[in-house]
Structure 1
C-alpha cells in the first residue's frame, strides 16, 4: 500500500493505457476460468451418462427383462454405449445386423441343421414265452417245488381179502435263479449335452437286450448259467416228421395227431408256437385233389388259429430243417414256470471312471425258468437226414 496506482511501472507499454491493460487481463482470466468450469461440467455429465448407460445395459441383459423386446434396439444401445466410452466410430460390429454377422457364402449359418429328438431304432422282436408261462416272484436264490411222481395203488378186493398198500412217490423240483448282466460306458459330456436323452436311450437299449436274451433262454436255454429251455427239456414228448426238409408227406395229419395226443385239459388250453416261415408253410397246405388251401376248410379256424387253438408267432423257434424243432403245441402256463428275483436293475457309477470323464452304467437281471410239467406239451421235430 506504500505506492499509489500511478506509481506502477509497466514494461514495454510506454504508450498503453493502464486501465485497458487491467481490463484485458481480467477478461482473459474470466475466459480461462469459464472454459475450465465447462470442461469439468462436461466430464461430470459424461460420467453420469456412462453410469446410466451401464445401468440400462445391465437391465437389458437381465434374464426375463421385457423392457426391450426388439433385439435391434438393444444392439443400438450397446453401440451407443461403446461410442460414449471409447469414441469408436461406425462401422462397429455391434451396429451390424445379425443376418450380416451370421452370413455364410454357402448359406450354412442361415440354414442350420436341426437335431431331432427321435432316435432311429431297429425293430426288436421279443419271444412271447413270458406272456404265456406261469410267472412267480421270489426273494430267494432258488425255489424248490415238491413233486408227486406216482399215485397210490388201490385194488378191487373181496369181502375177506386183506388190503394192499399203495404209497405214492414224491420228488422235488428245484428252479435256480440265474443272473444276466452287462455295463455301458458313456461320456459325461454326451450325458450333459443330450439333456438326458442319451441316458434314456442307453436304458432302453439295455432293456431290449435283456428282453431278447431272456426270451431266447426260455426257449433254448442250456448249461448251468441259463434258465432251462422249453425245446431243450428231454422229458417233453416228440412227434417226428417223415421228411428232413419239409413237415412231412402229411403235415395236416401230423398237426391233428399232435393236437389230440395231449390230454383234453391241456389241449383245450393249448397254444401253437412257430415262427413266421413255418406259419407261412402251413398256410400253403393244399388239398391233393382240388388244390384248395386247407387252412380254413380243413382246420375249421380263423387266420390265427389251428384246430381252434391260437397260433403265436415266436421268432426264436426253428425253421423247418434237418433235426430242428419248428413247431410246439401245449399248455405253456402248465408246462413252464418263470421266477423273477428282481427286475432290471440299472446303476449309474460316475466315480469309477471320473478321471476320464466317463460314467459307467451297470445293468443286472436275475431270473430263473424251468419245465415243471412236460406232459402238457408236445414238440414236432423234423427227421434227421
Structure 2
C-alpha cells in the first residue's frame, strides 16, 4: 500500500501549445482522482488516511493548480489583441495618434500629441498631466483585464465619461399587474426610488524603461506599456472588487453588511453558515454547498459562479457526492473554467481562507450582482527625471465598482 503512496507528483514541463498543456492537466487530474480515492478508502477502512497518501494527494493537487495557471496563461497569451493601428486601411486619425504617442514615449516629443488632443477638444493634459494612449492600446488593456481580473471577468462592466455613475432603482420593485383589454387602468402608487452611486477612483502603475529599450525600433512600445500595466491593474482591481472599502478605491462585495440569509434585506449580503467553525461538516459536507446554491433565486442561478481562493478550491476538489462522483470537475476545453456542482469556479486569491467565521466562498450571478465602472481613457505621463537613468511611465485609469443587486450574491460563512 505504501509503495504506491510514495509516487511523486507530476513535474511541471515547459509546454508550447494549449492542446499539450490541456492534455497534461487532464492526465494530472486522473492521477489526483486515483490518489484521493486511495485516501478515502483508507479513511473508510481505518478511520484515518496514511500520512504518505495524504501528502501525495496534496502534491498532485498543487501540481494541478500550477498546470491550470499555466494553461490559463497560454490561453491569455493567444487572446492578446494585436496593436496594428498602422496597418494598411486603418483609420488615419488613429494611425496619427499612434505615431504621435510613440514619439512621446520614445523621445518625450509631445508636440504632435498635444495638437491631436487639442483638435479632439479634450484638454491636452489631465489633472496630473499625461496624454491619452491610442484607442488600440486602451482596448488591449481592457480586453486583457477582463481575463486577468477574476471579478471583472464575471461582473457587469460599464464605461462612463463622467466621474460618477448614478443608478436609480425602485425599492419596492416595479409596479405591474394584469388588466383586461377594456377594463379601467387603476392608478398605481408612485414608486419609491433610491439611488446607487458608483464613483470612479484613480488606479495607477509606473513601469520603468531603459534608454536602450526606448531606442530599439523593433520594440512595440504600445504593447510593452499595456503588458507592463495590465498585471498591476488586475492585481489591484482583484483585491478592491472583493475587499475594497470604497475610500479612494472601489467597494468590494465583502465590505457590505452581511446577515444570515433568513434575515436578508436590501443593502445586505445574505450568508449561509457551514455549521462548523473554520470547516465543513464531517457528514454530508456537500449538503452545505447545495443549500448555498438554492439560497439563490432561480432567476439568478443561470449564469452563477463560485468565487474562492486556491486553498478553498483544493479542499472542495477532494469531495464526492453520495454516488461517488467528484463535485469538482475540470474544464471541458482549454481556457474554460472548472465547475463545482455544475457551476463555474472562479479562482480569486484575494478571497479569505477557510478560517473560523470567514466568508471564504461566494456564490452568485455576479453579472447581475456586481458592477464595474470604467471611465473612458488611459493616460500616460513620461517622467525621465525621478529615477535616472530610467524613464518612468506614470499610467493611470479610473475605475469604480460596487454591488448593484444585493439578492444576486450569497456567501458561505465558515461558522457554527
Give the shorter-chain TM-score range.
0.5 to 0.7
Q: Secondary structure at the match of 1:364?
A: strand
2:271 is aligned, of 233, 238, 249, to 238
Separation (CA, whole Å) in 2 of partners of 1:285 and 1:138 = 44
Separation (CA, whole Å) in 2 of partners of 1:347 and 1:154 = 52
Q: How do residues 229-308 of structure 1 correspond to structure 2 at under 5 angstroms? A: 229-234=252-257, 235-249=268-282, 250-286=284-320, 292-295=324-327, 304-308=338-342
- 1:243 deviation in Å? 1.5
Which residue of 2 is the match for residue 134 of structure 1?
156
Separation (CA, whole Å) in 1 of partners of 2:167 and 2:222 = 40
Separation (CA, whole Å) in 1 of partners of 2:291 and 2:405 = 20
Which residue of 1 is the match for residue 242 of structure 2?
219
The answer on 1:181 being equivalent to 2:204 is yes
Separation (CA, whole Å) in 2 of partners of 1:179 and 1:152 = 35
Separation (CA, whole Å) in 2 of partners of 1:375 and 1:204 = 36
Name the Cα RMSD after superposition: 3.6
Structure 1: 5+ residue stretches without partners: 1-124, 156-162
Which residue of 1 is the match for residue 370 of structure 2?
336
Q: Secondary structure at the match of 1:361?
A: strand
TM norm structure 2: 0.52
- 1:211 deviation in Å? 1.5
Separation (CA, whole Å) in 1 of partners of 2:321 and 2:295 = 24
- 1:276 deviation in Å? 2.8
CA separation of 1:136 and 1:284: change in aligned 2, threshold 3 A: same
Q: How do residues 116-195 of structure 1 correspond to structure 2 at under 5 angstroms? A: 126-151=148-173, 166-184=189-207, 186-188=209-211, 191-192=214-215
Contact preservation (8 Å) 2:205, 2:233:
no
1:347 is aligned, of 362, 373, 381, to 381
Structure 2: 5+ residue stretches without partners: 1-146, 178-185, 258-267
Separation (CA, whole Å) in 2 of partners of 1:253 and 1:219 = 26
- 1:201 deviation in Å? 5.1
Q: Deviations over 1:272-317 (max 9, x none)?
A: 11223222222322468x9x45528xx9x98933333222223322
Q: Deviations over 1:355-375 (max 9, x none)?
A: x55433211111111100010
CA separation of 1:332 and 1:168: change in aligned 2, threshold 3 A: same
Which residue of 2 is the match for residue 367 of structure 1?
399
Separation (CA, whole Å) in 1 of partners of 2:275 and 2:246 = 30
Contact preservation (8 Å) 1:154, 1:166:
no
Contact preservation (8 Å) 2:205, 2:232:
no
TM norm structure 1: 0.56
Which residue of 1 is the match for residue 344 of structure 2?
310
Separation (CA, whole Å) in 1 of partners of 2:203 and 2:228 = 15
Contact preservation (8 Å) 2:356, 2:414:
yes
Contact preservation (8 Å) 2:327, 2:341:
no
Contact preservation (8 Å) 1:149, 1:169:
yes
Q: How do residues 8-157 of structure 1 correspond to structure 2 at under 5 angstroms? A: 126-151=148-173
Separation (CA, whole Å) in 2 of partners of 1:358 and 1:305 = 45
